[in-house]
Structure 1
């Protein structure tokens, strides 16, 4: 049988949410090619099964792209960020912290403006229905993934945690009643070597079964450096399942996983350097006068960094436990989740052995969540409903060690008093003020409670009404200690803060400390209509709200910069169409949407009461915007053996307001003309798959895909020196694969190539004018892989 094509859906009924999104008990979503003797090849119905219910995704009403196991295996996607190649209006950037394992996702222009633990992700990550508070270490590597769902638009009345931009839900494979073995060995470019596998076996017939998935991956880096090359892999991990079924009335599914990673940070390039800026000038004058720093890269695949501190280390472990009771007319579920993450990400940005700029972030998080769901049918099955209670507790700490112009304090402090500035000030008096060896230790505790209700009522056989609402109560407590490491003096001068949610700054040892505490409540409603025009055509319209809770400024450099931003609110209006044509040889789904995005959180200049009208760079609700867009997704069988899938996403995102203070004049300014960051206007992809079946029963499969991403700005600060450098031109990447399977389908031999056009374009970066640096990350070069696989 030909492989499963890409599955698309632009909506989702309540039973789908209960089965897949909430409980993770998705049995399978199996769009496939149904090929019978004497009949034409057609696209099978896309079914989602939960216990004794089945739902066709073509009759659902939430924008979602579902990627099945077969497609994920055939496409050989190397990491989670590869999903943007297959999903419209989804964009990833390389983590601003430099970590290859940090997911910063944007859906329909909504994402995360900072990687710090004080900022919540705009796109939620779920594994088997359990929300991941931090997206560090998110991956697709394990061989037990059954399906990946990418939901676009605000979520909250069907998911445990409120997410303002969308959700990525990874559903793993439940152990079955039959023995299943899958082993894979692969090798490729840059000494890539990998072994992975999956084993499932029944322990007690029809009652108890277990499975385990594992991976071990290593490769050399593709950016040459002094020391280990950057861009390589060194990770291993596993996930184990235990499923107990007590007849038809109860089942219990326990999942535990762990990942161990020790590799270099994602390669970066010093794209521009301004030695006339304050810190480069002092560093080159007093620290390295005979060997000035720093020289921008001339070759993006070579760096002058002595690569012994660029690290992307991770230890992650977690568990989920889903218990389901099947009552006479109801279903009750309990979903318990736990995750512990320890991450060290170090980033050298100066392209020089000198210690000019280095940033190390050590993040430790621990979270616990509990969700209860009750669902059922009422009113002669015309009312399909679910009610949920949700609790989340997260303890997150982040230690940041920042070095800018390392050694400058020591150099200036040792100068005699007669070495002065042109105005006669001894340079040694400036040593403490110019000490930018900052250490921050932040601890944030978050507690979130929620209750939600989602109901679909059949007004007629063809027309259904959706009514839903979510109540959220969220509290955050932040404790910050900071110190200038070289001079052992406070970064923040003791004294009162401008924000009443935060305590006074007090001296503690050589540094200073303060605390912030704030709570927010919000009701997020949803209303929608869906209409079955005929058996092959369905239309829907919906209005929904989402919110992201408030945020603290995680890295103030002055007392007056301590701040708290209010929550963000988004109202999304969507009109969608689901259709299948030509006797199920063509599936075409589309949607148009408008998002009213209010109170967007940014780091901006504001007047400071503590400075008698002076300026402070704080986190505040500076922007409001209008986001208009459209999406089209297609699956087609133009001829026997050939499968085509494609998608198109378009976004027009504009700021209605963006309020700040002009630092030059001190007057208010409207920056609403600035571009939206991390949001390409146009994205599209096309994948073709052709299957040959030989007389002996063996088969050959050829896959090729192309993905295009329009211009992207990785900064929206047009006044910054780095603005133009952090603008990526539109580009396309090509991938292809060849897979041969033996007649019994036990052996499989494959060749894959990624980025075959060797397109090298910017996929992330940052710039700081005072530091004189603009740092960017590029797409990885062309790579090839060969693999052999055995299945039993």
Structure 2
């Protein structure tokens, strides 16, 4: 395997150095996690206790550290859990400068694909193993990968780009999680786990600056326990100016962000058998869209279609060709969570997770500007996509965990209620002069054929109820090296809503004027079976089969609020996990075959009926699709202080053809998975050197990927990519009275590589357009710990 995305000799040199140690998971140093995020937790105390035990045994410096997970009230080594998973720990996130989920777009976990919805940083598409929805922004449509915050599902893709608080780890569970996870986790699950209050005084404060006017301030305060109550307060502010200058006076630049938030956590432990943890978080996410560039002219496009001001920008630009009205999109989020834990007996635990969350997201996107259509003298242009979504959700989950002799189990019930509404408008904002040599801003927003706000609007409500259970039996044979796990989940989903406006007016369907209703109900049972065997204490093999489904819905971008049915997924997976050479090598391999049925496919069209709006219809493709893949994770600690890691993912897909509702012919058209490269690789080198009174730490990671398709109905590939990130720090400097200091310099996209992560077209009227990755960013951070 070699990176195919760059001819830069530095890329080959650094990639070769990492690959010389084979390849593996960037996060494999955190190893694998169990099937259930809510039934498993790694804490600092666990890791410290494990390290102390190893030190007492005289082998603390031998090889890789053990990673302990408490799953279903038992401690296990993550290597022994029969599921493919990657974990990005706190150090991994710091080294890679991950401040929001969008920063994982570079491929830090190759099987996990993160992308903005078109140019919008406020809405994030999340996919695993090829299951990536191209448009999950509608209030009655669900994602294919569940994203969880401390065990609570985040129902909308809007808001997922907000700043991360004090994160202990991000767990990426691969493959369908239909048994133990909340809902609609056909591709897998991303679980974000924050640090709990410790009950001991501690303060960690960081301040930093970077290019493009970036600055960052965050503080994490742990207060001493009082009356068995521990309190923790987290605050974060991270801001960066735009990377593409907008030449229209007084308007915001493109690709800027301003993310800030506050978190309060309190944990009450009145006895050894009961604990309660309450969390409140509030955040605001202010962003401008990524700039869309015209990257080539179509050979058949007449020269008259192009205004003289419009430029072909084949490489990443830092200045727009035509200045445009542009303002920040603003997302306001807040949430409450209550975790309760009760141990009525030594081997029984009852858990409750209650949560309420609310989201209000506005969207202002004028990113495509003069590239959306051909030049017409004195005509309006620069379609401004104005969209907003309001959503609130309540969830309640009860779990019972226990162990009897050779049987360990978890079971429970889950309830989810969500309601939301969205609206949108797409007015033009600029007007050409007669020759296309100048353009001026319209004095008021002009909607063209659409006359009033909003151009479209919809409402939706969802209720989901589930009952689940899973049990692992270790029979008293073969030295208790055989483990059989069986689980299942019954889910009942009910949705209803209405399209209340389309093309600026009350809808008319089949001659009837009024709201277009939508209503659907689906019941589903998803089973899972895993057979695991431990040939030796250091080698573990498993086979796993499971199913999951994503509920149906309706797309509010549809002219008729067209409904679609659920899609279902079945995956068979086999894997091996091994620790070799006195625990200096950790190797994990997994291969899988996924079968789709009734996959949801999107088709889109622009300017239907004279409107500026983008119309999207979602259909269920007849027949079955398949995704086959292989993943290899390796971590090597050849000498003390040096760790080499990496991860490789191979993904091959074949989806059934689908009926394009915008095509007047009866022929089916090919369909494709989106944002999923065939080959993806991430490698990293970490080195730590004590200097006497300080510690020098060095990190370098390289991330490589083939091109991929960005629209399920278009066979056009993005560019291959090669991205390097790095961080060097001098830390553990004693300041007295228990305080320490760290100074770090960091850089993302160190070699300023540019690639199109989104390629649209080709449009025979103009040509192809696309969006480029971020340019090189760098800065310095200072951290004080008490």
| Short-chain TM bin | 0.7 to 0.9
Aligned position for 2:351: 333
Aligned position for 1:782: 776
Unmatched 5+ residue regions in structure 1? 409-430, 497-504, 508-512, 607-615
Aligned position for 2:508: 493
Aligned: 1:448 with 2:434: no
On the 8 A contact 2:584/2:638 being kept in 1, the answer is yes
> Structure 2 CA distance, aligned partners of 1:360 and 1:296?
26
On the 8 A contact 2:133/2:674 being kept in 1, the answer is no
Deviation, structure 1 residue 687: 0.5
Equivalences for 1:321-400 in 2 at 5 Å? Answer: 321-328=338-345, 329-352=347-370, 355-378=381-404, 380=405, 382-400=406-424
Equivalences for 1:290-689 in 2 at 5 Å? Answer: 295-297=311-313, 300-328=317-345, 329-352=347-370, 355-378=381-404, 380=405, 382-403=406-427, 439-459=455-475, 460=477, 461-485=480-504, 489=505, 492-495=507-510, 505-507=512-514, 513-557=515-559, 559=560, 562-603=561-602, 618-622=617-621, 624-655=624-655, 657-660=656-659, 666-669=665-668, 671-672=669-670, 674-689=671-686
On the 8 A contact 1:304/1:351 being kept in 2, the answer is no
> Structure 1 CA distance, aligned partners of 2:40 and 2:712?
40
Secondary structure of the 1:327 match is strand
On the 8 A contact 2:492/2:523 being kept in 1, the answer is yes
Deviation, structure 1 residue 319: 1.5
On the 8 A contact 2:163/2:285 being kept in 1, the answer is no
Offset from partner CA, 1:30-85 (integer Å, 9 cap, x none): 79897899975421111023696312101101211112223222332232133353
> Structure 1 CA distance, aligned partners of 2:43 and 2:590?
28
> Structure 2 CA distance, aligned partners of 1:147 and 1:665?
50
Aligned position for 1:707: 703
Aligned: 1:159 with 2:181: yes
Aligned position for 1:501: none
Aligned position for 1:256: 280
Q: Name the CA shift for 1:143/1:791 in 2 (closer, same or farther; >3 Å).
A: farther
TM-score of the two chains, using structure 2 as the length reference:
0.84
Deviation, structure 1 residue 474: 0.4
Aligned: 1:231 with 2:255: yes
Q: Name the CA shift for 1:391/1:218 in 2 (closer, same or farther; >3 Å).
A: same
Deviation, structure 1 residue 304: 3.6
> Structure 1 CA distance, aligned partners of 2:162 and 2:558?
36
> Structure 1 CA distance, aligned partners of 2:36 and 2:721?
40
> Structure 2 CA distance, aligned partners of 1:246 and 1:162?
36
Aligned position for 1:747: 741
Deviation, structure 1 residue 110: 0.1
Deviation, structure 1 residue 177: 2.5
> Structure 2 CA distance, aligned partners of 1:789 and 1:346?
35
CA RMSD of aligned residues (A): 3.3
On the 8 A contact 2:132/2:674 being kept in 1, the answer is no
Q: Name the CA shift for 1:367/1:270 in 2 (closer, same or farther; >3 Å).
A: farther
Secondary structure of the 1:72 match is helix
Offset from partner CA, 1:332-385 (integer Å, 9 cap, x none): 11100111111111111443495432211101110000000011012x2x1111
Secondary structure of the 2:658 match is strand
Q: Name the CA shift for 1:635/1:357 in 2 (closer, same or farther; >3 Å).
A: same
Tell me whether 124-133 or 156-165 shows the greater mean CA deviation. Answer: 156-165
Aligned position for 1:134: 156
Aligned position for 1:6: 27
Equivalences for 1:707-786 in 2 at 5 Å? Answer: 707-718=703-714, 724=716, 727-744=717-734, 746-764=740-758, 766=760, 775-786=769-780
On the 8 A contact 1:270/1:351 being kept in 2, the answer is no
Unmatched 5+ residue regions in structure 2? 1-24, 372-379, 433-446, 606-614
> Structure 2 CA distance, aligned partners of 1:663 and 1:131?
34
Equivalences for 1:62-73 in 2 at 5 Å? Answer: 62-73=83-94
Aligned position for 2:237: 216
Tell me whether 291-300 or 115-124 shows the greater mean CA deviation. Answer: 291-300
Q: Name the CA shift for 1:553/1:54 in 2 (closer, same or farther; >3 Å).
A: same
Which of 280, 284, 289 is matched with 1:265 structurally?
Answer: 289
Tell me whether 259-268 or 699-708 shows the greater mean CA deviation. Answer: 259-268
Which structure has more RCO (C-alpha within 8 Å, separation ≥ 6)? 2
> Structure 1 CA distance, aligned partners of 2:634 and 2:51?
14
